[in-house]
A and B are shown apart, each in its own frame.
Chain A
Amino acid sequence: MGNSWRTRRQPHAAAFRGALWITLIAVATTVAALSLQHLQTAKLLDLELKHLVEGELEALTARHRDNGSARLATYIDQQLTSGSRRGVVYMLAGANDQRLAGNGLAWPKGAREGVVTIFEIPVKTDNGPRVERVAGEARWLGPNRRLLVGHLADSRIALGRKYWISLILSVAITAGLSLTLGWLVSRRGPSFITQVAKTADRFLAGHLDERLRVSGRDDEFDRLSEVVNACFEEIECMVGSLRAATDGLAHDLKTPLTRIKARIELAALTGQSSSESEVLAQTAADLDSILELMNGLLALARADAASAQSFEAIDLAVVVQDALDLYTPVAEDRNCRLVGELRAAPMQGIRALLLHMTANLIDNAIKHSPTGSSIIVSTYSQGGSIHLSVADNGPGIPSEHRGLALRRFGRLDESRSTLGSGLGLALVQTVARVHRGQFTLSDNHPGLVAELSFNRRAN
C-alpha cells in the first residue's frame, strides 16, 4: 500500500482561511455601517447649513431692498461686533469685488450663487486676518453689489476627520477580534478532521481497537464520530470473524486431507494387503466432506451477495411447511416429534434462502434433541413484523457462547470432532441479515429457542 496519499499539509491552513474570511466580512460590514452613518450625518449638517445660510441671505436681501446698501453695511458690521454671530462670515462687495462691509476681507473665487460651496477666504478676527475654510453662498443684490454669507466649515471638516479616525480604529479592532475569534471557531472543524484522520491512520496501521472520541455535545461532529466508530466496529468484527473463519476452514479442510494422505501412505507401505475397497470408500467419504464444506461456503457466499432486488412476495409459513415435510421423517427416525404451529406470515424475501435457513435450524434442533422430545416450529405475524421460532429441548447454548455459535466455523466443541461444518447458524445469520431481520438465540428451559423476526416489508 502506497503511503504518499497519507502525507498531509499542516491542517492549520483551513482554520486560518476560515478566520480570514470571517475577518473580511466583519471589516466590510464595519466600513459599510460607518460610511453610511457618516454620509447621513454629513447630509443632515449640509442641509442645516444651507437653511441657515439661505435664511440669512434672504433676511439681508430684504433689508437691502428696503434700506439700501449703506444701511445694510452698517447693519452687518453691527451684527458682527455684537458677537451674536459666532462663526458666521459676511461680506458685502461693491464694484471690482471691493469690500464694503463684513468680516470677509477678499471676495473668494469658489463662492457660487444658489448653491452652498466650501471655499477659502481671509477673515478678520480678534487676532488679525486669517484664512479660513468657509461653507457659504453668494448673491447679487444689484449691479456692482454682491453679498456673501457663510459659516466656518470647521465642524464639517472635523466630522470628516473624525469619520476617518473612527473608521481606521473600528477596522483595526474588528480585524483583530474577528481574526482571533474566527481562528478559535474555525479550528474546531479542521481539528476534528485532523483527529479523524489520525485515528483512521492508526486504524489502517493495524490498531483495530482505535475509536474516535465522542464529545457528548450531541452535535453533527458527534454524529459523524458515532458513524465512523460504527464502521470501525464492523470492520474489526469482520476481520476477527475472517481470521476465525480462515482458522476454522484450514482446520476443517486439513482433517479429511490428513486422513486421506495417511490412508494412502499406509496402503502404499503395506502393499496390496490392506482392503483396497475400504481405503477407497473411506477416502471418498472424506472427499465428500470436503465438497460439502465447499458447498456450504458457496451457499454462504451466495446468500451474502443476495440483494433486495430479487425479493418476492412469499408466505413464510408455506416455506416452513416445506422444510417440515422434508425433515419430519428424519425427526421420527430419531424418535422426536416435529410440531408445526404455522400461521400465515406474508413477507418479502428470497424463498430458496429462507428454506435453506429454516432447514438448517430444524436440522440443528433434531441433532441436539433428546429421544422422545418435541421440536416446536412456529410462524406468525404480529403488528408489522413476521416471526419464526424453532424451539427444542436439547442441551441449549450457554448465553456466553451464543455469539460464538453464530460465527462461521464457530463450533462450541473446541476439538471440532462433532458433526456439522459449523456453517449452519452462520447461514441463518446471513439470511436474516439479507432480509433485514433479527436473529436471536435464547433459553427454552431446557433447550434452545432460535427466533427470527422480519419486517413485513423489507426495504
Chain B
Amino acid sequence: MKLLIIEDDAVTAGYVQRGLAELGHACDHAATGLDGLTAALTNTYDAIILDRNLPQLDGLSVLRALRAEDNKTPVLVLSALGQVDDRVQGLNAGGDDYLTKPFSFHELMARIAAIMRRGGGGAAETTVLRVADLELDLLRRTATRGGRRIDLLTKEFQLLEYFMRHAGQVVTRTMLLEAAWDYSFHPGTNVIDVHISRLRAKIEQETETPLLHTVRGAGYQLDGQ
C-alpha cells in the first residue's frame, strides 16, 4: 500500500511515516501544498493524508484541485480545526474523512483503512450484510445469527450496521460515536463501551463464537475468522 502525507510539520509527518512503515506501508511526504498537489497528480497513491494549514497552497485548495482533475484517491483531511463547520467544509471540498489534531495513531490507521475500502468500490448496493453466521437485513431491519433472531434497539442496529460494513477493520470509539450519534461532543469512552458491551451480549450468546473483539488502546473489531 502506498500513501502520501502532505503536512508541513516534519515531526508529525515523520511520526506518521515511521508508524506506517512499521505496518508495512510506504509513505511519501510533501511539506507544502504545491509539492503535495504535484506528487498526488504525478504518482498513484492508495490514500492521501492532507493537512489543512499548509504553506503555498492550503489543504482545501489542494483537495479541490485534485478533485477538479478527476483524481478519486481517497483523502483523509487532518486539521487542528475541529468544529462542526470545519468538518463540513473539509467533506464538502471532497475529503473522504476528517480527523482532528491531536489524533491517535490507531485512529488514523483505522480511518485510512475505512476510506480505502470505501474507495475500493462497494458500488453494488447490498441489502443484506453478512459476517460469519451473523446476518443483518437492512430493508426489514432485522438481525439473525444462525437462525436465532436478535432484537436490537435503533442505536444498536446502527452500531451493528457500521461494524458489519467495516468487518475486519479496527473501528475506534470516535468513529462509532460519529456513525451512530452524530454528536458534537464526546461523552467519554465509558459511555460507548457500555453500549458496545450490550450489543456484544446480544449477538454473542454463551455457546457462540466471539465476533466483536476489543482491540486494546484502539477500539473494536468485528471479525468472523
Which residues of A approach B to under 8 Å, CB–CB?
A: 281, 284, 291-292, 295, 298-299, 302, 322, 325-327, 329-330, 333, 352, 355-356, 359, 363
Contact with A along B163-201 (1 / 0, CB 8 A): 000000000000000000101111110110011001000
Q: Which residues of A contact B195 (CB under 8 A)?
A: 326, 329
CB distance from A50 to the nearest CB of B (A): 94
Which residue from B183, B184, B194 sits with its C-beta under 8 Å from A330?
B194
A12 to B206, CA, bound (A): 92
Which residue from B185, B188, B194, B198 sits with its C-beta under 8 Å from A299?
B185
Whether A333 contacts B194 by the Cβ 8 Å rule is yes
Which residues of B approach A to under 8 Å, CB–CB?
A: 82-84, 102, 155, 181, 183-188, 190-191, 194-195, 198, 217
Whether A295 contacts B184 by the Cβ 8 Å rule is no
Q: Which residues of A contact B188 (CB under 8 A)?
A: 292, 363
A291 to B102, CA, bound (A): 8
Q: Which residues of B contact A359 (CB under 8 A)?
A: 185, 187
Of A322, A326, A352, A356, which is in contact with the most chain B CB atoms at under 10 Å from its CB? Answer: A326
Q: Which residues of A contact B184 (CB under 8 A)?
A: 352, 356
Q: Which residues of B contact A325 (CB under 8 A)?
A: 155
CB distance from A282 to the nearest CB of B (A): 12
Q: Which residues of B contact A298 (CB under 8 A)?
A: 82
Closest residue of chain B to A322 (Cβ to Cβ) is B181
Given contacts A322-B181, A329-B198, 9 further A-B contacts (CB under 8 A): A281-B217, A291-B102, A325-B155, A326-B187, A326-B191, A330-B191, A355-B183, A356-B184, A359-B185
CB distance from A284 to the nearest CB of B (A): 7
In the complex, the 10 A-B pairs of residues with the closest C-beta atoms, listed nearest first: A352-B184, A329-B194, A356-B185, A330-B194, A333-B194, A329-B198, A330-B191, A359-B187, A329-B195, A299-B185
CB distance from B191 to the nearest CB of A (A): 6
Whether A295 contacts B183 by the Cβ 8 Å rule is no
A302 to B85, CA, bound (A): 12
Q: Which residues of A contact B186 (CB under 8 A)?
A: 292, 295
A298 to B190, CA, bound (A): 21
A34 to B30, CA, bound (A): 95
Of B185, B188, B195, which is in contact with the most chain A CB atoms at under 10 Å from its CB? Answer: B185
Which residue from B155, B183, B187, B198 sits with its C-beta under 8 Å from A352?
B183
Give 24 CB contacts A-B under 8 Å. A284-B217, A292-B186, A292-B188, A295-B186, A298-B82, A302-B83, A325-B155, A326-B181, A326-B191, A329-B194, A329-B198, A330-B190, A330-B191, A330-B194, A352-B84, A352-B183, A352-B185, A355-B183, A356-B183, A356-B185, A359-B185, A359-B187, A363-B187, A363-B188
A325 to B181, CA, bound (A): 10
Which residue from B84, B183, B191, B198 sits with its C-beta under 8 Å from A327?
B191
Closest residue of chain A to B154 (Cβ to Cβ) is A325
Closest residue of chain A to B156 (Cβ to Cβ) is A329
A291 to B82, CA, bound (A): 13
Q: Which residues of B contact A295 (CB under 8 A)?
A: 186
CB distance from B76 to the nearest CB of A (A): 20
Closest residue of chain B to A325 (Cβ to Cβ) is B155
Q: Which residues of B contact A327 (CB under 8 A)?
A: 191
Q: Which residues of A contact B187 (CB under 8 A)?
A: 326, 359, 363
CB distance from B184 to the nearest CB of A (A): 4
Q: Which residues of B contact A329 (CB under 8 A)?
A: 194-195, 198
Closest residue of chain B to A427 (Cβ to Cβ) is B185
A356 to B195, CA, bound (A): 18
CB distance from B174 to the nearest CB of A (A): 12
Closest residue of chain A to B216 (Cβ to Cβ) is A281
A284 to B183, CA, bound (A): 24
Q: Which residues of A contact B155 (CB under 8 A)?
A: 325
CB distance from B157 to the nearest CB of A (A): 13
Closest residue of chain A to B191 (Cβ to Cβ) is A330
Q: Which residues of B contact A326 (CB under 8 A)?
A: 181, 187, 191, 195
CB distance from B109 to the nearest CB of A (A): 15
A352 to B183, CA, bound (A): 7
Q: Which residues of A contact B198 (CB under 8 A)?
A: 329
CB distance from B201 to the nearest CB of A (A): 10
Q: Which residues of B contact A284 (CB under 8 A)?
A: 217
CB distance from A420 to the nearest CB of B (A): 10
CB distance from B177 to the nearest CB of A (A): 10
Q: Which residues of B contact A356 (CB under 8 A)?
A: 183-185
A151 to B100, CA, bound (A): 111
Which residue from A281, A333, A355 sits with its C-beta under 8 Å from B185?
A355
Closest residue of chain B to A362 (Cβ to Cβ) is B187
A359 to B186, CA, bound (A): 10
CB distance from A392 to the nearest CB of B (A): 18
Q: Which residues of A contact B83 (CB under 8 A)?
A: 302
CB distance from B180 to the nearest CB of A (A): 10
A301 to B7, CA, bound (A): 28
CB distance from B106 to the nearest CB of A (A): 10
A333 to B197, CA, bound (A): 10
Q: Which residues of B contact A299 (CB under 8 A)?
A: 185
CB distance from B89 to the nearest CB of A (A): 16
